[in-house]
Amino acid sequence: ELARSLLAHPSMAAIGGHPYSPSDIELPGFVPQQLSPLQLVVPLIGTSLLVITVIWLVSGRVLNTGRSARLSKADRLIMCWWAITGLTNLIIEASFLFTPNYLTKESPSFFDEIWKEYSKADSRYASRDTTIVAIEVIAVFLRGPASLLAMYVCLLHFTTTHFPFITLSIP
């Protein structure tokens, strides 16, 4: 069965039976990825474009507080950026935290497949390195909500928006 799965997935390393580097990393119960990168990227791009469109349209109709002028195009673009950042942290990255067995699931979710693909670029995700998990905790519980708060602050058009934006932009 391992040989058949290796033939079905030519990018998989022959030694470890998985596509992650180093090939000797131990991933007991590993189940190969079922969706192609294209099958992962298209829905992500589509969903992102939908969110951007909704934020753009809604923000174009909201008046600035205490002013009769509408939000500038720059403010609206910034709101779109913070919305995508916040939702990515709260949805996609949270799925990594709350699904530690994503590599071994026989019927993986779309998000499990995203993390299998992402782990090819950084195998510390596949091995659930404690530093990576700690960074993801920060992303999910601090950066995600703070990004949505930054979007809201931009909507209200506070004059002091630069401080939260700069603070959030520092990795």
**Interval 15-64: pLDDT, tens:** 458 999 888 888 999 999 999 999 999 999 999 999 999 999 888 876 54
Determine the Cα–Cα distance for residues 151 and 154; give it in Å rounded to an integer. Answer: 5
Our CA angle for 158, 137, 21, nearest 5°, is: 125
Q: Which pLDDT score is estimated for 154?
A: 82
Share of the chain above pLDDT 90, in %: 60
pLDDT tens track for 63-81: 544 555 678 888 889 899 9
Q: How far apart are CA 75 and CA 106, in angstroms?
A: 44
Residue ranges of the domains in the chain? Answer: 2-165
Comparing 4 with 148, the larger pLDDT belongs to: 148
Q: What is the mean pLDDT of residues 98-106?
A: 95
Give mean pLDDT, residues 130-159.
Answer: 89
User: What's the average model confidence in pLDDT over 113-137?
Assistant: 95
Half-sphere exposure of 125 toward its Cβ, with a 13 Å CA cutoff?
22
SS3 at position 94: helix
> Average pLDDT of 110-129?
95
* This prediction's pTM: 0.79
